[in-house]
Chains A and B, each alone.
Chain A
Amino acid sequence: MTPEAWDIFVFFLKLSLLAVGGANAAVPEMHREVVDLRHWMSDETFSQGYALAAAAPGPNVLFVAVIGWHVAGAQGLAASLIGFLGPTFVLSWAVATLTQRLAGDWRLAALRSGLVPVAIGLILATGLVTAAAAARGTATEVGVAILITLVSTLFVWRSRYSPIWTLLGGGLIGLALLR
């Protein structure tokens, strides 16, 4: 393993268990370390990589792979993913083991039920924050953006069709009206 890949591995390993709330919660810390302190990436490359990871399908956590790739190629990519996801994998595994062993315990049942409203509230918050970030541009563009978000909300809430249609539709409306 190259020294850069090793540094990447250690950095993400340390960050992993601090990332409560997912990779997005750790992005400011990544920026501080990767751009400001170590100068591994320029500010522009960092933001561009983040935008790409957010636009691509799949969990946003894959942004760490972009950083790893940029700093140390294929080895860096593997090092960043294993470093960042390894500890959370082990912890989730341990928690799953514990919850299976305690299945039927009323305290565990209360814990699990109790976390549901908090988790759904946080999911709704993520949607609202990204909706606000996407509502930008001229007054008309903001209106179009909000309209796309509202229609998409209704579509996914009320219909059983795949959300891929609302994403595609949103993209096409964007192509026509958000330029």
Chain B
Amino acid sequence: MPKTVANPPEELPLNPPPGAAQLFAAFAKAGLLGFGGAQVWVRRALVEERRWMTERDYAEVLGLGQVLPGPNVGNAAVMIGRRFAGLRGSFAATGGLYIGPLIVLMSLVLLWQEFADDPHVGAFMHGTACAAAGMVIGNGIRMSGRLSPPPEQIAIGLLSMLAAAWLRVPLPVIVLVLGPISIAAVVWRGRRPQ
């Protein structure tokens, strides 16, 4: 009996769609754990842990959330909440995402003077920041690996990355130039549903 498959979570069927309360709980956990980029934790919760969405489905919602103004994961929360539980779902997901971190952040702001000068805190936070950067990169690679994109999509992804990180091209320019090219590439591949 083979014990492992390439990507076990992809093989398993999705769980039944959540209600508003379940959405709130999932997003609250992702928000509270969401050091260094809540998007990583929301993806983990929805795709890998609770299996409410496929990798591709989540990536597409996040892609829309990315090009709309505002935080990508906040926009995704509104759209995912709406899909599963309507307006209540959107409010539940949004509220869950922000409420925990807001309390933590305001506590930090109020306590800041107590530990601002402690070098231990600074050193710990510096190490965490390095790890968080790696976490965001690793999560991006993991996502693309599980989507197994065709070569032209890999090229477009790498171009977007270089344009933003190295050339510092403003985000609207990247989206307006590479977005249409990428969409055209999808059409060219003939990846039409139905």
A residues neighboring B (CB under 8 Å): 16-23, 25, 48-49, 52-62, 65-66, 69, 77, 81, 84-85, 87-89, 91-93, 95-97, 99-100, 104, 106, 109-131, 133-135, 144-146, 148-158, 160, 162-164, 166-167, 169-175, 177-179
Contact = CB atoms under 8 A, between A and B. Distances in A.
Interface string B138-171: 1111111101010001101111111111000001
Given A104-B193, A124-B157, A62 B105 contact: yes
B181 to A, nearest CB: 8
Contacts of B65: 92, 119
Contact of A124 (B128, B165, B174, B184): B165
A119 B59 contact: yes
A57 B33 contact: yes
A58 B126 CA distance: 17
A171 B186 contact: no
B6 interface: no
B137 to A, nearest CB: 4
Q: From DSSP, what is the main secondary structure of chain A's interface residues?
A: helix
A56 B37 CA distance: 10
A57 B101 contact: yes
Interface in B114-143: 116, 119-120, 122-143
B75 to A, nearest CB: 4
A93 B90 CA distance: 8
B137 A124 contact: yes
B85 interface: no
Given A58-B31, A114-B186, A153 B141 contact: yes
A122 B66 contact: yes
Q: By CB atoms of chain B within 10 A, which of A59, A150, A151 has the most? A: A59
A107 to B, nearest CB: 8
Contact of A66 (B34, B94, B105): B105
Given A114-B185, A115-B67, A121-B178, 7 more contacts: A22-B70, A57-B104, A59-B101, A81-B102, A92-B79, A114-B182, A170-B128
